[in-house]
Structure 1
Amino acid sequence: MPEASLSSYPDSNRLPRVSAIVLAWKAEPLLRQSVESLLASAKVEIEVVLVDNGCTTDDVEVLSKLPGVVAVGEGENLGFSAGCNLGVAASSGDYVALVNGDAIVEPNTLARLVEVVDQADVGIAAGAVRLADEPELLNSRGNEVHVLGVSWIGGFRERETRSEPTETAGAMGACLVTARSHWDRLGGFDPHYFAYHEDADLSIRTWRVGLRVLNVPDAVALHRYEFSRNSFKYYLVERNRLMFVATLWGTRSLLLLAPPLLALELVMLLLSVKEGWFRDKMRGYGWLWRHRKHLGERRRRVQAERTVPDRVWMRVLTDRFNTPLINPPGVGLLNALMTSYWRVVRRWV
């Protein structure tokens, strides 16, 4: 693994100060190992901010006694987005690392990510997340983001073949580093996301202000990954996808993509009926309507921060569904139609 070059840091006389935000939720068997692996990080001055987000064990009490660990939170599940915001607000580092409580980082992972994110044109550096029970296989080499707003992990169960950092549309929130100044510039996560799509939102907003998002193959985290399906997850994923697109996509882009966006809504409605989460889909529409004022205000704010036109930053998006985890009915036909349609309209975005 390449050594991080301290000469690239603003002050080479001291180690970079990194605040790692870790959420403690329910009973996580790897939480202690996760925090201990962060405290063992090399070539950084590490602070672990442990957020009690509804921990049901004594892990927070035990870990908070370790040097370098700060515990915050009242034991209420604020969700991933608001929980991370709380942790960052209590932190003091020049760099913010988000690391899942079920992820174990290698000793040089944080230093390597800091080295990459210190490049002038990089806003977020994400680790290569591998499966904890099959560490030879990737959990994610970065997240894919579709032009219609769907996001999923890229490279799932593939073997690592890269030797250099690669651009990715989205950084997986399980292991990423950004400068505190960049986090503050974007205002962190919108707490309304609660969970899902908040990392895609932060990543795309990074691309929209002219900075790259890179995934770093030699910055490794082992992740206890489980793909779950439940009604609350469907509610959040679908609701958040619509909030994501409605606030970040430009007006012209939304107009040009209106036909496939409406077609995807029909597909998801049919899928929700078939799989039994139609009420959750309807619940999402209800939430969006009740929070329309917030969505309008947020859209105005994030559109004003954009410095890169849609036709430029949208090059990082994909027009194909190629995830093995989600296969809506007619995905082959959907891909063929979407690819053809996007090839025609993207010149006018």
Structure 2
Amino acid sequence: MTPRVSAVVLSYQDEPWLERGIHALLASEGVEIDVVLVDNGCTDGAVERLRGTPGLTVVGDGTNLGFSPGCNFGATFTKGDYLVMANGDLVVEPDALLRLVEVASDPTVGIAGGSIRLNDDITTLNSAGNDIHFLGFSWVGGFGEPAATHAIAKDVASAMAALVMLRRDVWESLDGYESNYFAFHEDADMSWRCWQRGLRVHYVPDAIGRHRYEFGRVGNKMYLVERNRLIFMLTCWDSRTLVLLAPLIAATEVAMALIGAKSGWFGEKVHGWGWLLSHRKWLRERRRAVQSERTVGDKELSALMSDRLDAKNFPIPKSLLFLDAAAAGYWRTARRFLR
């Protein structure tokens, strides 16, 4: 029986790759495919040009819902047994969705993540699954490395949201992405919640998508990245883990504030703190819900966490490298006391 797959794609501002990406999804081989396109504020006319395309449903009124709320909204219009979330600036290879189905159909798998390649060189990785640091940082794994060095399928801490597939029952049990993230870190959150439920997150090297990767499309990115990192830790980490990490979390907040002051985004950092304080009730409720659904403890999951920051994604001055090493040493000791 041919697998029924529904893909959700968001369009935002200028989308020079959107039409190419939609047509690539609709031309996928070995699956029965339909695509839901969410108009999240596309400004270059691509959405209008795509209207009426067979197999495509266009929804939304042009309001920017954000990435995670937009994906959740689009998912309500899907019909397939498998859901794919694909970026509007990503073009899949013809067999990519079939390769993802082959993995996502395994009942032990929660998320199947594609091999995201850089658009200007398909042999070079954008992501082979994302890493998660014990202080909540997350970054694209394998960025800039030859794809051939990541040719083996493997479990990963997190799948990059640019190309992920879930069975419908998994998506619905997770209630999709957490909408309050708006954008950034929602993929780490969803991946980690899968791991907490005993479901694996798996990198599929032959499910290839070509990505027009841009680091800074959102103007308030550091506000969202830093705020969401804290949401992630405060809701997903076990209470004992948070207590053990409290000194490092506090020191990291000071360090990030100083970096923000030097780099021009200190106000965004403060704004993030303000949001967390004003949403204390929601944070408590969210934490209670996430923790109540877990069946796997942090002690077991800690093996998935990185203990050092990746130099390609977090350039650390040589004078501060010892702090990264010291934090890693602290974490190795703290891991013994996790539950």
Q: How does 1:112-131 map to 2 (within 5 A)?
A: 112-131=99-118
Identical-residue share of aligned pairs (%): 51
- Asked whether the equivalents of residues 21 and 49 of structure 1 are also in contact (C-alpha less than 8 Å), the reply is yes
Q: Distance in 2 between matches of 1:255 and 1:342?
A: 12
Q: Distance in 2 between matches of 1:26 and 1:231?
A: 12
Q: Distance in 2 between matches of 1:186 and 1:96?
A: 13
Q: Distance in 2 between matches of 1:277 and 1:342?
A: 28
**In the alignment, does 2:94 pair up with 1:107?**
yes
SS at match of 2:150: coil
Query: Could you tell me which of 136, 148, 162 is aligned with 1:174?
Result: 162
- Asked whether the equivalents of residues 109 and 202 of structure 2 are also in contact (C-alpha less than 8 Å), the reply is yes
Q: Deviations over 1:276-322 (max 9, x none)?
A: 11111111111111111111110000000001011112211111101
SS at match of 1:340: helix
**In the alignment, does 2:44 pair up with 1:61?**
no
SS at match of 1:315: helix
Q: Distance in 1 between matches of 2:302 and 2:195?
A: 9
Q: CA deviation at 1:175?
A: 0.5
Q: CA deviation at 1:151?
A: 0.5
Q: Deviations over 1:217-269 (max 9, x none)?
A: 11100000122287610100000000110000010000011111111111101
- The equivalent residue for 2:182 is 194
Q: Distance in 2 between matches of 1:223 and 1:296?
A: 36
- Asked whether the equivalents of residues 267 and 328 of structure 1 are also in contact (C-alpha less than 8 Å), the reply is no
- Asked whether the equivalents of residues 131 and 138 of structure 2 are also in contact (C-alpha less than 8 Å), the reply is yes
- The equivalent residue for 1:236 is 224
Q: Distance in 1 between matches of 2:137 and 2:39?
A: 30
Q: How does 1:178-257 map to 2 (within 5 A)?
A: 178-228=166-216, 232-257=220-245
Q: How does 1:1-349 map to 2 (within 5 A)?
A: 14-160=1-147, 161-228=149-216, 232-329=220-317, 331-349=320-338
SS at match of 1:98: strand
- Asked whether the equivalents of residues 128 and 150 of structure 2 are also in contact (C-alpha less than 8 Å), the reply is no
Q: Distance in 2 between matches of 1:117 and 1:300?
A: 28
Unaligned runs of at least 5 residues, structure 1: 1-13
What residue identity is the alignment partner of 1:65? Answer: G
Q: Distance in 2 between matches of 1:285 and 1:297?
A: 18
- Asked whether the equivalents of residues 6 and 83 of structure 2 are also in contact (C-alpha less than 8 Å), the reply is yes
SS at match of 1:57: coil
- Asked whether the equivalents of residues 140 and 172 of structure 1 are also in contact (C-alpha less than 8 Å), the reply is yes
What residue identity is the alignment partner of 2:46? Answer: D
SS at match of 1:74: coil
**How many residues matched?**
336
Q: Distance in 2 between matches of 1:86 and 1:298?
A: 20
Q: Distance in 2 between matches of 1:240 and 1:199?
A: 11
RMSD over aligned CA atoms reads 1.3
The 3 A distance-change label for structure 1 pair 331 and 69 is farther
- The equivalent residue for 1:3 is none
SS at match of 1:257: helix
Q: Distance in 2 between matches of 1:26 and 1:163?
A: 34
What residue identity is the alignment partner of 2:65? Answer: L
What residue identity is the alignment partner of 1:213? Answer: V
Q: Distance in 2 between matches of 1:327 and 1:309?
A: 31
- In terms of mean alpha carbon deviation, does 159-168 or 289-298 score higher? 159-168
Q: Distance in 2 between matches of 1:323 and 1:53?
A: 33
What residue identity is the alignment partner of 1:332? Answer: L
Normalized against structure 2, the TM-score is what?
A: 0.96
- Asked whether the equivalents of residues 153 and 202 of structure 2 are also in contact (C-alpha less than 8 Å), the reply is yes
Q: Distance in 2 between matches of 1:77 and 1:197?
A: 18
- Asked whether the equivalents of residues 321 and 331 of structure 1 are also in contact (C-alpha less than 8 Å), the reply is no
The 3 A distance-change label for structure 1 pair 230 and 25 is closer
- Asked whether the equivalents of residues 227 and 276 of structure 2 are also in contact (C-alpha less than 8 Å), the reply is yes
Normalized against structure 1, the TM-score is what?
A: 0.94
The 3 A distance-change label for structure 1 pair 229 and 163 is closer
Q: CA deviation at 1:328?
A: 4.4
Q: CA deviation at 1:331?
A: 4.8
SS at match of 1:288: helix
Q: Distance in 2 between matches of 1:101 and 1:168?
A: 24
What residue identity is the alignment partner of 1:308? Answer: V
Unaligned runs of at least 5 residues, structure 2: none
